[in-house]
Structure 1
Amino acid sequence: MATALKDRHVVVTGGTGALGTAVVARLLEEGAICHVPNSHAAAPKHFPYSEDERVKLKNNVYLADSEAVGAFYGEVPELWASIHLAGGFTMAPVEKTESASFAEMMDTNARTAFLCCRAAVRSMLVSETAGRIVNVSARPGLDPRRGGGMVAYAASKAAVAAMTVALAEELKGKGILVNAIAPSTLDTAANREAMPDADFGKWVSLEAAAEAIVYLASPANVAISGTLVPLYGRA
């Protein structure tokens, strides 16, 4: 897949996060031009690609706002792929989960994915591009029994999974391929800090997750669509 994405324009939401940084790095290796929306006024200091000429960072983009998302995608020329990593996590017993917390998970995980999928499809249809869309669900989104103690999160990721499959079916006649990965625990510094007694060797590395995402977003993927890829490592 060497330089399979050379000079192709790819959106990466959540691109300044831990997984996003790994995905952007892999895309740059493949020659892509990465468009990264950022909800803050500036990229976090740990993001290493702020000054890279092939990374187009756009600050103050709120992905749960329809107009903001539309405006952002409207500035991306000849969109080839849209990768949606932006999201959030919360856990609490259901009796302690407030309605606002449930709404926040649906906004942060499901609404952002929907709005970005919609904007990407609109762009691809206008340019007649048979492009790629990659979402991120989660293991509890595929196996709700894993969602005990995190009902709001599991529901939002299940919505992403359902959206992915339905959208793939809707777009199969247009040549646009839509897939999602569904990781278990990713091996990030934040997760290690939050779960210091866990067996990190069972977690999914950021590099492995990035490799799967970039393949699904690449022209090398010619037939996979409507698939929810379980990335469970050894968990």
Structure 2
Amino acid sequence: MAATLEQKHVVVTGGTGALGSAVVTRLLQEGAICHVPNSHAAAPAHFPFTKHERVRLVNNVYLEDTEAVTAFYAGVPDLWASIHLAGGFAMAPVEKTESAAYNEMMDTNARTAFLCSRAAVRAMLASGTAGRIVNVSARPGLDPRRGAGMVAYAASKAAVAAMTVALAEELKGKGILVNAIAPSTLDTPTNRADMPDADFSKWVSLDAAAETIVYLASPSNEAMNGTLVPLYGKA
């Protein structure tokens, strides 16, 4: 990348997950300082960067809680980018989808993206510097026909997509670029375990997704704003 992330402070929600770890790896390679909120009381055993000098892992941060999100972002100096990978997935026929399950998808995917985007914008505007926000929608969020059997999930990811475009338009001219990726199935250990008979070669690799996310979050990205990047692999 021509423009560097060297010593730039970047938030990565969902940073302890499979995609999150891949994104943190790429950010560290680019010289960034990573701030990773963790909803648990201790770092997950599988997270490889607990003691890394440029990773600040903060436990007991609940991204659906306004005060927790506000407090977390208040502890990030000179915020450059905020990458929102935290989310969840659920599927069920609509007649078996209860209101609570719908609300959970909206909270886990759309509400967390909103609260973190808002906190990031406030920090960036207060500092008077440019910045980047990257959200994660999904293929069913862009093409709801792909959301059959997962209507609550598709609706929550469509909300993230709409939010991304609306934010990008609102923040035009303020130096804050807002984009999102919309992947199909990611090639994670969990997805392989859940779908052992699938053709993994058609899925989106974590490295490919991380590369796209880090580009969107970098100073090298000077033109992409309000873009929903489809990452559909070979499917």
TM-score range, shorter chain: over 0.9
Unpaired runs of 5+ residues, structure 2, are none
Contact 2:182 2:228 in 1 (8 A): yes
Letter in 2 for 1:39: S
CA distance, structure 2, for counterparts of residue 177 and residue 156 of structure 1: 22
CA distance, structure 2, for counterparts of residue 60 and residue 201 of structure 1: 36
1:217 paired residue number: 217
CA-to-partner distance for each residue in 1:13-36, whole Å, 9 max, x for gaps? 000000000000000000000000
CA distance, structure 2, for counterparts of residue 187 and residue 80 of structure 1: 28
Residue 129 of structure 1 deviates from its aligned partner by 1.4
Aligned residue runs from structure 1 range 36-75, under 5 A:
36-75=36-75
CA distance, structure 2, for counterparts of residue 42 and residue 143 of structure 1: 37
Residue 2 of structure 1 deviates from its aligned partner by 6.5
1:204 paired residue number: 204
CA distance, structure 1, for counterparts of residue 230 and residue 148 of structure 2: 19
CA distance, structure 2, for counterparts of residue 117 and residue 209 of structure 1: 20
> Which consecutive aligned stretches of 4+ in structure 1 deviate over 6 angstroms post-superposition?
none
TM-score normalised by L of structure 1: 0.99
Identity of aligned residues (%): 82
1:169 paired residue number: 169
Find the residue that maps to 1:51 and give its secondary structure.
Answer: coil
CA-to-partner distance for each residue in 1:175-195, whole Å, 9 max, x for gaps? 100000000000000000000
Find the residue that maps to 2:83 and give its secondary structure.
Answer: strand
CA distance, structure 1, for counterparts of residue 145 and residue 107 of structure 2: 22
Aligned residue runs from structure 1 range 84-163, under 5 A:
84-163=84-163
Task: Work out the number of aligned pairs and report it.
Answer: 235
TM-align CA RMSD: 0.7
CA distance, structure 1, for counterparts of residue 24 and residue 88 of structure 2: 19
Change beyond 3 A, Cα 1:53–1:71: same
Letter in 2 for 1:166: A
CA-to-partner distance for each residue in 1:146-195, whole Å, 9 max, x for gaps? 00000000000000000000000000120100000000000000000000
Letter in 1 for 2:87: G
CA-to-partner distance for each residue in 1:84-127, whole Å, 9 max, x for gaps? 00000000000000100000000000000000000000000000
TM-score normalised by L of structure 2: 0.99
